[in-house]
């Protein structure tokens, strides 16, 4: 969940409550120590450093909805997007709001670190203060339902035969999706530099490139693509982690990047 630029205790006491909110509003009583007595006195802004419909965007809007619907706060919550460069465009924007306790940002560790390294970001993650960890994201490897690929093994075989033609789509360069593809290529004996990988801001971009046929295989957080899997538009070939989540018929990938912690 959102890091805040170096102004922690008052905000943490409010937004940490959101970590306990799911579909219900059972969040308990507010801290009565006085740390949050006067906060917030105006609207909050949550920055999602990715595209609309992506994981960071969904978390930001879910947080805003939980805070207002459950009447945790009386003020409005606004969500803005700053996609691109592995989240570092949003990171730089956050750096310009130093000391503002009303500006939050959603992120996850691996994607943002990879983006910062890949894009030589002058802004470091150490300039942010993590407020609360909310979720651990499972990555899904998916193909269109009409695809001839029936399992991950067939994808790796095609990649060995023609790595350029077996194109992948996923999140930003240097992020967990890109790392996963590179690890799979290595396992298949294919140099990662020969694999076609299309980086996106996530969300609908991955789905559009897959369904249009522009890319053959996609990676995304399971929460982003699960509706399309359940609707029969996508077929999941593998997931990260030790076992598949409930309702997902796919084996875990031994070469997937580790699940990333979302803030």
Count helices and strands (H / E) in the chain. Answer: 8, 12
Q: Return the H-helix or E-strand segment holding 225.
A: helix 222-230
Q: What is the 3-state secondary structure (H, E, C) of 152-188?
A: HHHHHHHHHHCCCCCCEEECCCCCHHHHHHHHHHHHC
93 DSSP assignment: H
CB 1 within 8 A of CB 134: yes
Q: What is the pLDDT of residue 1?
A: 42
Nearest alpha carbon to residue 76 among 47, 104, 44: 44
Q: Is the predicted pLDDT of residue 26 greater than 80, yes or no?
A: no
**Which residues share a beta bridge with 143?**
235
**Residue range 46-72: mean pLDDT, rounded:** 87
Q: Is the predicted pLDDT of residue 151 greater than 70, yes or no?
A: yes
Query: Count of CB atoms within 10 A of residue 124's CB?
Result: 10
Q: What is the pLDDT of residue 108?
A: 80
**Residue range 77-103: mean pLDDT, rounded:** 89
Which residue has tokens 């991950």? 152
Instruction: Burial-class residue 28 by CB neighbours within 10 Å (0-12, 13-18, 19+).
Output: exposed
Q: Is the predicted pLDDT of residue 2 greater than 80, yes or no?
A: no
Q: What is the pLDDT of residue 34?
A: 53
Summarised one tens digit per residue, pLDDT across range 178-201 is 888 999 999 899 999 999 999 987
Instruction: Please give the Cα distance from 238 to 218 (Å, whole number).
Output: 11
* pLDDT > 90: percent of the chain: 35
Confidence of residue 51 (pLDDT cuts 50, 70, 90): confident
Summarised one tens digit per residue, pLDDT across range 111-145 is 788 788 888 899 888 888 888 777 677 889 999 99
**Residue range 232-241: mean pLDDT, rounded:** 89
Q: Return the H-helix or E-strand segment holding 79.
A: strand 77-81
Which tops the pLDDT comparison, 21 or 45?
A: 45
Most confident of 1-5, 33-37, 147-151, 237-241: 147-151
The model's pTM is 0.61
Q: Is the predicted pLDDT of residue 169 greater than 80, yes or no?
A: yes
Interacting residues of 173 by C-beta distance below 8 A, sequence separation 6+: 86, 114, 115, 118, 119, 197, 199
Confidence of residue 9 (pLDDT cuts 50, 70, 90): very low
Instruction: Please give the Cα distance from 263 to 220 (Å, whole number).
Output: 17
CB 144 within 8 A of CB 205: no
Token digits for 203? 């969300």
**Which residues share a beta bridge with 217?**
168
Q: What is the pLDDT of residue 236?
A: 92
Q: What is the pLDDT of residue 194?
A: 94
Taking the CA atoms of 199, 1, 204 and 184 in sequence, report the sign of the dihedral they define: positive
Nearest alpha carbon to residue 71 among 132, 26, 131, 35: 26
Q: What is the pLDDT of residue 150?
A: 93
Interacting residues of 74 by C-beta distance below 8 A, sequence separation 6+: none
- SS3 for 108? strand
Q: What is the pLDDT of residue 259?
A: 42
**Residue range 97-121: mean pLDDT, rounded:** 84
**Residue range 25-40: mean pLDDT, rounded:** 59
Q: What is the pLDDT of residue 21?
A: 42
**Residue range 18-30: mean pLDDT, rounded:** 48
Confidence of residue 13 (pLDDT cuts 50, 70, 90): very low
């Amino acid at each position: 969940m959102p890091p805040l630029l170096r102004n922690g205790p008052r905000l943490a006491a409010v937004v940490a409550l959101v970590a306990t909110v799911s579909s219900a509003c059972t969040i308990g009583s507010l801290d009565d120590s006085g740390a949050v007595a006067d906060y917030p006195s105006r609207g909050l802004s949550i920055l999602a450093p990715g595209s609309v419909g992506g994981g960071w965007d969904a978390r930001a809007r879910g947080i805003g909805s939980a805070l207002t619907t459950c009447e945790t706060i009386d003020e409005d919550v606004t969500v803005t997007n700053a996609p691109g460069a592995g989240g570092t465009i949003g990171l730089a924007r956050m750096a310009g709001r130093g000391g503002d306790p009303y500006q939050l940002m959603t992120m996850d560790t691996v994607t943002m670190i990879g983006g910062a390294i890949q894009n030589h970001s002058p802004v470091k993650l150490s300039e942010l203060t993590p407020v609360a960890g909310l979720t651990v994201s499972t990555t899904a490897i998916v193909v269109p339902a009409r695809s001839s690929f029936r399992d991950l093994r067939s994808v790796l075989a095609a990649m060995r035969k023609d790595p350029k033609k077996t194109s992948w789509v996923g999140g930003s360069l240097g992020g967990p999706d890109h790392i996963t593809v590179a690890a799979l290529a290595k396992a298949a004996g294919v140099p990662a530099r020969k694999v076609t990988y299309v980086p996106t801001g996530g969300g609908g971009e991955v789905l559009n490139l897959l369904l249009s046929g522009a890319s053959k295989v996609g990676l995304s957080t399971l929460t982003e693509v699960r509706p399309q899997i359940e609707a029969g538009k996508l077929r999941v070939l593998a997931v990260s982690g030790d076992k598949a989540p409930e309702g997902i018929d796919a084996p875990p990938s031994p070469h997937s990047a580790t699940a990333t912690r979302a803030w």
